[in-house]
Structure 1
Amino acid sequence: MLHQFAPPVERLGLAAFRTGQEALHGVAWMGPATVFPQAVGLGATWNPELLRRVGEAVSTEVRAMRARDPRVGLNVWAPVVNPLRDPRWGRNEEGYAEDPSLTAALATAYTRGLRGDHPEVWRTAPVLKHWLAHNNETLRDTSSASVPPRVLHEYDLPAFRGPVRGGAVAGVMPAYNLVNGVPNHLSPYLAEELRRWTERELVVCSDAAAPSNLAGSQGYCADHEEALAAALRAGVDSFTDHDQDAGPTIARLRGALRRGLIDEGHIGTAVRRLLLMRAALGEFDPESDPYAGTGPESFDTPAHRALALEAAEQAVVLLKNDGLLPLRDSGGAAEAGGTDGSGTGSGTAGEPGEHGGAPTVTVLGPLADVCKRDWYSGDFLRSVTPREGLAERLGAHRVRHESGDDRVLLHCAAGGVLRVPAGAPDRTPADEGSFNPAHTAARTDLPPVTADAEGTVLALTDWGGGVLTLRAPDGRYLSVAGDGYVRASAERPGGWVVRETFALEPRDGGRLLLRHLATGHPCVLTPDGLRAAPAAPEPDPPAAHPAERGLFTLEVVERGEDAVARAAAAAGTAVVVLGNDPHINGRETEDRTTLRLPDAQRRLWRAARAANPRTVLALTSSYPYAVPDADAELAAVVWTAHGGQAAGTALARVLFGDVSPAGRLPQTWYASDDDLPGLFDYDIIGARATYLYSGAAPLYPFGHGLSYSRFAYTDLAVVRDGDDLTVTLSVTNTGETAADEVVQLYARAEEPRVPRPDRQWVASERRRLAPGERGRFRFTVPVAALGHHDVAHGRWTTDPGRYTLLAGASSADVRLTARVIVDGPPPAPRPVVRRGLAADAYDSASNVRLVDRAPGRDGAVTPADGAAPARLAFRACDFGPGDGPGGGPGGEPATALLTVARTGPGAARIELALAGPAPLGAVDIPRTGEEGDRHPYRTVEVPLERTPRGVRDLLVTVRGAARLARIDFRLRDAPREPSRAAAPR
């Protein structure tokens, strides 16, 4: 029962059960389902109530699909609540927001929808992903996020804590990575934090193959039996490993049981948690299960289709508008117009075209006529592309389309031109409706690409970073099956390993090598067709004919930007739809390396703009881009995440003013890569990262989004009521268009004693207001929301002092402010003599990496760059009264006891000083363990040159291969608690 696929227990009447049904924005991997916008798009709605309704629809479809397919599970792995710290993260599309509290609010709403409203029985059982501090795909199973306690408690944990305390979460899934040197599947915070937030027995489900990583790629445990035992003891209840084969997992757990690494109590605890979750789903009392009768009539309902459209409309963010939008359809029955907040914005769709004098729109770009799925999408039951949405709105005869792909011929150096044989597939790809699309078998029932004298003109799409796709004239993508042959067999790029991407690499004489990226093999023309095969060593001297079979020259029949310019010039308005394919250039397993829009796409919008100044850029992507040039040169820019099945209809309705846009950015859009810290730098405070701390001027700030109307903010008032602040204000729609406004409330500490956010989201509300309507908004903000994690005392605290509340339309568009005074005693100094110092509880540091100090325990520090020292500052340390020379107990010299380890060759040294500086003492760290000992910590005594007295700042320098876990002091006449030198923290 501890494996993902638990078998039936017939003697107890227990059916088979599996944990894990993907349901991030619709039911995934189980065939056709209602597809809602990506999670980051749902985040852009800033509308918890909408997310609750989406969760309700998704869980209803889970139940309806399970009625016809028992493989559909009721333990759903959703939502993802990792705050979107870095927009280059490959899985950016899966999270809700950059702010942890906004993430928590949205996730709480979605899980409530997934859970259902019945007081006892859950419609589905949501599991939050991915515990903890997980924002990189590069080295995701071996990298360790260095997360200081303040960042952990103020940024990463709150995103999980909110929905868990909201009462609709069944469990969590640990992430692949390590945090502070400890694998997340052994995280001490599962017991110390997660399980203390609720009285409910939460289930912890491992991520796929992660249990094997503990003794495998991570090498953290000596063997797999030790690894699984450690995970079970840490709190992992269900092991997702070796797909449906439970054998290896159970054998390892039995071995651990025989060795005494676990006992029956550990197993019983995990089984109890799993059975309680199954009981909550109504499995053991089906007659009392209100959802047991959910059938096909509850699937793909008109209400679900309408909700998918509503969500897609609410997710559209108007980034810039110089009056071009909304477009007016003067050639049809409907007209729309409005204002963008800076002036009246309306215009006809364009000049009269060739079809009956009505203005025309041309929709351009690689995403103009496609709805993209991502890794966690279901298959589309129905979908509307941007072209189709505009055609619905205007009539097909008034909408033109051009993809902007280069049309090319690939000439073989050995003779002939690549040709796609005639004949389209007569069935859908093998991954349709499969349980696990990672197991997709590529098509082999079509003839391979070959060569002849004429060849086939292929559509080449350049996705940036040297990645391209090639399509046949009928729209099929060139792909490579297991036999290595290249065929035009795929409807779209997809699968765990994307087999439809290639690169063209320059060779001598202007020739090119065509490399298949999934296999890494060059494509070589063989007598049986084009094949991606391992490169054979070239003879010396090279043989002309065999080598030339793998070389090509590229003939561009028509450049994409030329076709785009021609189409844009012929229409009244050009809508250029650019962005990403969610399976290419940023996805699970692959981070982005840049925020830049691919150069090929930049050429497309520039060509359209040069040909037609009435050009709208519609960015459709899983993440932000740095597009300062587009912002400067184009009249209108909109963004939406991949919007699901109704994306095209929603975009058309927003462009033509049927809906006033009110989406808000859930994360900052930066102007340049230079505005970001390193991908692996999780210390957002030290790195000055995210909207909370960044000093960079953003291109579009967190919370940004324009409207077709205008709103006036007045009458901000703040009243303290016990532990809460009641904040009220009025907002009036002063424009001529009914529109939603997202009223945002932020807080700032005015004179903080530690670094605090420049402004921090505390509340928001999205509400529709008619022209002239005045709405009164009321927010309840806990005073604790103004606080921070006090590292000196290991607790949450709200310092006394002045705070400012800021109300407005974004984090940068502040309309009103109000001051509030928080009373209370000043913060006490650190009781360092009584309690000592945990090394990771510093106030500030440089060149520090946090590491583990015992198996499954974090809390030690070491230099991040071994060539430079790590420097730590501990502020306001209370060494006791007086300034005399003093000494230790009984008159011996004052000493510091350091819990340290030396983990490598070379010098290792730790130095202590008081701010001033006034040196206290130093010690060279001897070898502290045997070869291969991962945690060779021991206590080293350092005689102090003087006895520190009073409240002083302590400075610590760590050099070389030293690790410092703890500092304790032995001073004369100083009150002390029992020594913690050997304690975990």
Structure 2
Amino acid sequence: MSAVPAASAPAATVADPAAKVAGLLAQLTLEEKIAFLHQHQPAVERLGLGRFHTGCEALHGVAWIGRATVFPQAVGLGATWDRELLRRIGQAVSTEVRAFRQDARAVQGSDVYEKHTMVSLNVWSPVVNLLRDPRWGRNEEGYSEDPFATAEMATAYCRGLRGDHPTIWRTAPVLKHFLAYNVETDRAAIDVRVPPRVLHEYELPAFRGPIEAGVVAGVMPGYNLTNGIPNHVHPLLAEALRAWNPELVICSDAQAPSNLVEIEKYFPSHVESHAAALKAGLDSYTDNDANAQPTIERFTAALQQGLISEADIDAAVGRLLAMRARTGEFDPELDPYADIRADVVVCEPHAALALEAAKASIVLLKNDNRALPLDPRPGSVAVIGHLGTRVLTDWYSGTLPYAVSIADGLRTRLGADSVAAVDGADVVKLRAGEREFGPFVHNDWGTSVQCPVPVHTFQSTENGRYLTLTGEHDRQVEAAAQTPDGWFVKELWELHPVGEASAAGQVLLRSNAEHSRKYVRVDETGSLVADAESPQDATRFTVELLTSGTHEAVAAASSAESAIVVVGNDPHINGRETVDRDGLALPAAQESLLRAVTEANPNTAVIVVSSYPYAIDWAAEHVPAILWTSHGGQELGNAVAEVLTGAYSPAGRVPQTWYSAEAELPEPGDYDVIGSQWTYQYSQRKHLFPFGHGLSYTTFEYGDPIGTVALSHEGAPTVTIEVTVTNAGDIAGDEVVQLYSHAIDASVPTPLRKLQGFERIRLEPGESRALVFEVPAIRLAHWSELDGGFVGEPGEFEFAVGRSCADLPASVTVFCG
């Protein structure tokens, strides 16, 4: 059976959805329609309407339901620069969503029925927020810092989620998060100022592309305010989103409707705020979890007070019903996807696709003297680092069906005896007087904006569990957590030196959990409890070193022919939803480990497994080979091993700029990418790896491009660039061909380079391929606030083709009037 069954057109056609929705609206009572405005819509049995709710997370696989195929993080998918791959992944993900919805066997656990019946075919994905600031906590969720690349990748993924049936959608995608959402600190209160040019040239195109492509069912506003107005009541909901597609469902983010009053203080009452949001175009209210009563009461009062009309309610409910109709809910006998069952979840074809995606997303950042791939007979290899033996998930991951670590992947390809794995972290005990706790694997994860002191994890060597808060009121401290992955991360600890005694190594242990910032003490039973309000009430601990991770790593590296140091982040720590990073540096412990291993064995490669870029200046100068991959899902280790051993030639390209540690970045809330010279388009800061950068094991040559200008079928001027690319090496490989433009004599500041096209192609040794890029002249224009639209200035434009925004070996100048 095919893992991703294609939709065959049914013999009959779906009834007119507009007529269907109008008929339902006419039969629903006013009270029923008001209830439909909440995320959790009740069943209306007399009309044959079942329960429904908006929202199923499907960012890089089905999340929060059970075992599902886990693909690389979205930023990793962005690094593939491969539209067709994204479409196929979207198809696989939406097929698994259908299976969870339609077959209870797909769901694991005791609450199978509840999970199964409440799986929504309305998926909250993808995220099209631009990766403007690499310190953004949710960097892992976006595709690119470039609006064109983001729109193209999002459109491809949505096309897969939607399916290709002419009338019935496999799932109904919702884009997140409109508008200018790129900061987690005080995210529900921050007012992001976006100049008009930045709004129209940088921010809006990422949303407009997939919406106008007809593959998007809705949009979710962001928590923040934009130019003084909360996004959930912003005029651009109507003036932009609904102008592009009048049928779009606008679905709120969690608790955002109440935030309009409680955090943003923008309205004096919930009745007024909900009425204003409905008038602005918000259709579905994700508020107070599953409790719809407050939402119902607020809209009932707003109607009674004349703040809204029944027509306003009908418009919102009509759009919600139309979205449900698109998934075939009201015509089940005509649904071409109705036979999808549990056997497609974590099936072999999806696993193969996960491996393909993980390989395609890997970026070779540096490769001096062809340090990679490893010698065909590499002898012994030491894999060093906490992330070398682990596969980590993030907040929007599904449950891994299996996990292949980098060490495991190398053992499969090189043999178990050839690969040694060393964690690189210290093993310690916590001692308080005569009492001792541990031993623990101790990791220092560095700092974030929310926590200026380093946070630590302690993982028991006896049961593999993390030290965490447990029991009533999260007061007990035990090694009980499998991973640090809750909404409140309760496995993070701060170590505070104790005054003058710090020289003796005494520290106070304090919980870093947002809801319980208490100090730890040893109670009368000898147990650890986190309930001390002040340092004076806390127990003083000594961190006793049992095994030095660095010493073990150096010993392993010294005795091996080559060393692989794996560094990076845990997606739940110091860079995630609600938590921004405070900088770009590696955690100090990882930087120290990397330097020690490289000194012990110059034949060292670094693998950065992370949700975002790091300022790895030292490694860029001293380590011969560097790979980057996002957290790559279940097949991470196999993918990395294929690249390291040369079985696969890497072709990923970084989807955002990797800045140097010397680069002074603007403030996180500064969204003026033009004035502050943000992103590759305007930045003249020092960069380690420019936007679009990535190396290969083979060599590609570019011919001289040919540029012409002609009128399109619609009568608009279009620039056509033709270029031939040749694989001049001796192995097959992929090249990501990138086209950039630059206005030579513009009257206003314009991008140093602006991405206008890209294509990932595979070429055999000696093979050539001619590529044609068509660039509508409107994409060369700039936004004029005076004219209220895009203005194209006649003049010369340089079009350059190559491997990154900074490596463009071929160019042609075209006059466009």
Q: Same fold (TM over 0.5)?
A: yes
Report if aligned partners of 1:595, 1:673 keep a CA contact under 8 Å in 2.
Answer: no
- 1:273 aligned to which of 311, 319, 342: 319
Percent of paired sites with the same residue:
52
1:152 match: 199
2:150 match: 103
Aligned equivalents of 2:665, 2:634: Cα separation in 1: 33
Aligned equivalents of 2:336, 2:40: Cα separation in 1: 25
Report if aligned partners of 2:518, 2:533 keep a CA contact under 8 Å in 1.
Answer: no
Aligned equivalents of 2:534, 2:120: Cα separation in 1: 50
Aligned equivalents of 1:618, 1:475: Cα separation in 2: 24
What secondary structure sits across from 2:809 in the alignment? strand
Aligned equivalents of 1:626, 1:745: Cα separation in 2: 27
What secondary structure sits across from 2:117 in the alignment? coil
Deviation at 1:610, TM superposition (A): 1.0
Aligned equivalents of 1:735, 1:536: Cα separation in 2: 65
Bigger Cα displacement from structure 2, 457-466 vs 581-590: 457-466
Aligned equivalents of 1:250, 1:405: Cα separation in 2: 53
Aligned equivalents of 1:385, 1:725: Cα separation in 2: 46
The reply to whether residue 810 of structure 1 matches residue 804 of structure 2 is yes
What secondary structure sits across from 1:775 in the alignment? strand
Aligned equivalents of 1:482, 1:663: Cα separation in 2: 45
2:113 match: none
Structure of greater Rg: 1
What secondary structure sits across from 2:531 in the alignment? coil
Deviation at 1:571, TM superposition (A): 1.1
1:354-503 matches, within 5 Å, as: 359-412=379-432, 414-418=433-437, 456-465=438-447, 466-473=454-461, 474-483=463-472, 484-503=475-494
Aligned equivalents of 2:512, 2:79: Cα separation in 1: 33
Counterpart AA for 2:404: V
Aligned equivalents of 1:10, 1:296: Cα separation in 2: 27
Counterpart AA for 2:360: Q
Higher helix share: 2
Aligned equivalents of 1:392, 1:674: Cα separation in 2: 41
What secondary structure sits across from 1:665 in the alignment? coil
Aligned equivalents of 1:587, 1:536: Cα separation in 2: 27
2:65 match: 30
1:288 match: 334
Structure number with greater CO (CA < 8 Å, separation at least 6) is: 2
Deviation at 1:580, TM superposition (A): 0.2
2:530 match: 533
- 1:190 aligned to which of 237, 243, 258: 237
Deviation at 1:536, TM superposition (A): 4.9
Aligned equivalents of 1:305, 1:25: Cα separation in 2: 13
Aligned equivalents of 1:611, 1:592: Cα separation in 2: 31
1:213 match: 259
1:604 match: 593
The reply to whether residue 202 of structure 1 matches residue 248 of structure 2 is yes
Aligned equivalents of 1:263, 1:304: Cα separation in 2: 48
The reply to whether residue 522 of structure 1 matches residue 519 of structure 2 is yes
Structure 1, unaligned runs of 5 or more: 332-348, 350-358, 419-455, 824-985
Report if aligned partners of 1:329, 1:394 keep a CA contact under 8 Å in 2.
Answer: no
Aligned equivalents of 2:56, 2:495: Cα separation in 1: 39
Aligned equivalents of 1:611, 1:748: Cα separation in 2: 46
Deviation at 1:326, TM superposition (A): 2.8
- 2:355 aligned to which of 299, 306, 309: 309
What secondary structure sits across from 1:248 in the alignment? helix
1:611-690 matches, within 5 Å, as: 611-672=600-661, 674-690=663-679
What secondary structure sits across from 1:66 in the alignment? helix
What secondary structure sits across from 1:411 in the alignment? strand
Deviation at 1:715, TM superposition (A): 2.7
Aligned equivalents of 2:786, 2:811: Cα separation in 1: 31
1:57 match: 92
2:547 match: 558
Aligned equivalents of 2:374, 2:814: Cα separation in 1: 47
Deviation at 1:243, TM superposition (A): 0.7
Per-residue CA distance 1:596-641 (angstroms, 9 max, x = gap): 1111000111111111111110000000000111000000011000
Deviation at 1:535, TM superposition (A): 2.5
2:76 match: 41
Report if aligned partners of 2:663, 2:685 keep a CA contact under 8 Å in 1.
Answer: no
Aligned equivalents of 1:149, 1:75: Cα separation in 2: 32
- 2:779 aligned to which of 776, 785, 790: 785
Counterpart AA for 2:576: R
The reply to whether residue 740 of structure 1 matches residue 759 of structure 2 is no
Counterpart AA for 1:365: G
1:320 match: 366
Deviation at 1:303, TM superposition (A): 1.2
Report if aligned partners of 1:362, 1:400 keep a CA contact under 8 Å in 2.
Answer: yes
- 1:819 aligned to which of 809, 813, 816: 813
Report if aligned partners of 1:45, 1:315 keep a CA contact under 8 Å in 2.
Answer: yes
Deviation at 1:573, TM superposition (A): 1.1
What secondary structure sits across from 2:527 in the alignment? strand
Aligned equivalents of 1:662, 1:532: Cα separation in 2: 50
Aligned equivalents of 2:219, 2:602: Cα separation in 1: 50
Per-residue CA distance 1:213-262 (angstroms, 9 max, x = gap): 00110000010000010111000000001111101111111111111111
1:439 match: none
Counterpart AA for 2:511: H
What secondary structure sits across from 2:701 in the alignment? strand
What secondary structure sits across from 2:703 in the alignment? strand
Report if aligned partners of 1:325, 1:656 keep a CA contact under 8 Å in 2.
Answer: no
Aligned equivalents of 1:727, 1:674: Cα separation in 2: 34
Report if aligned partners of 1:205, 1:236 keep a CA contact under 8 Å in 2.
Answer: yes
Superposition RMSD in Å: 1.2
Report if aligned partners of 1:693, 1:758 keep a CA contact under 8 Å in 2.
Answer: yes
What secondary structure sits across from 2:643 in the alignment? helix
Deviation at 1:307, TM superposition (A): 0.5
1:859-870 matches, within 5 Å, as: none
The reply to whether residue 801 of structure 1 matches residue 795 of structure 2 is yes
Matched residue count: 750
Aligned equivalents of 2:375, 2:805: Cα separation in 1: 34
Deviation at 1:675, TM superposition (A): 3.0
Report if aligned partners of 2:519, 2:533 keep a CA contact under 8 Å in 1.
Answer: no
Per-residue CA distance 1:932-957 (angstroms, 9 max, x = gap): xxxxxxxxxxxxxxxxxxxxxxxxxx
Cα distance 1:717–1:330, how it changes in 2: closer, same or farther (>3 A)?
Answer: closer
Per-residue CA distance 1:826-862 (angstroms, 9 max, x = gap): xxxxxxxxxxxxxxxxxxxxxxxxxxxxxxxxxxxxx
Structure 2, unaligned runs of 5 or more: 1-35, 105-115, 448-453, 712-716
1:223 match: 269
Higher strand share: 1
1:453 match: none
Counterpart AA for 2:802: G
Report if aligned partners of 2:376, 2:645 keep a CA contact under 8 Å in 1.
Answer: no
Aligned equivalents of 2:778, 2:66: Cα separation in 1: 45
Counterpart AA for 1:288: L
What secondary structure sits across from 2:50 in the alignment? coil
1:571-590 matches, within 5 Å, as: 571-590=560-579
Report if aligned partners of 1:26, 1:378 keep a CA contact under 8 Å in 2.
Answer: yes
Report if aligned partners of 1:702, 1:811 keep a CA contact under 8 Å in 2.
Answer: yes
What secondary structure sits across from 2:131 in the alignment? coil
Aligned equivalents of 1:233, 1:198: Cα separation in 2: 17
Report if aligned partners of 2:52, 2:118 keep a CA contact under 8 Å in 1.
Answer: no
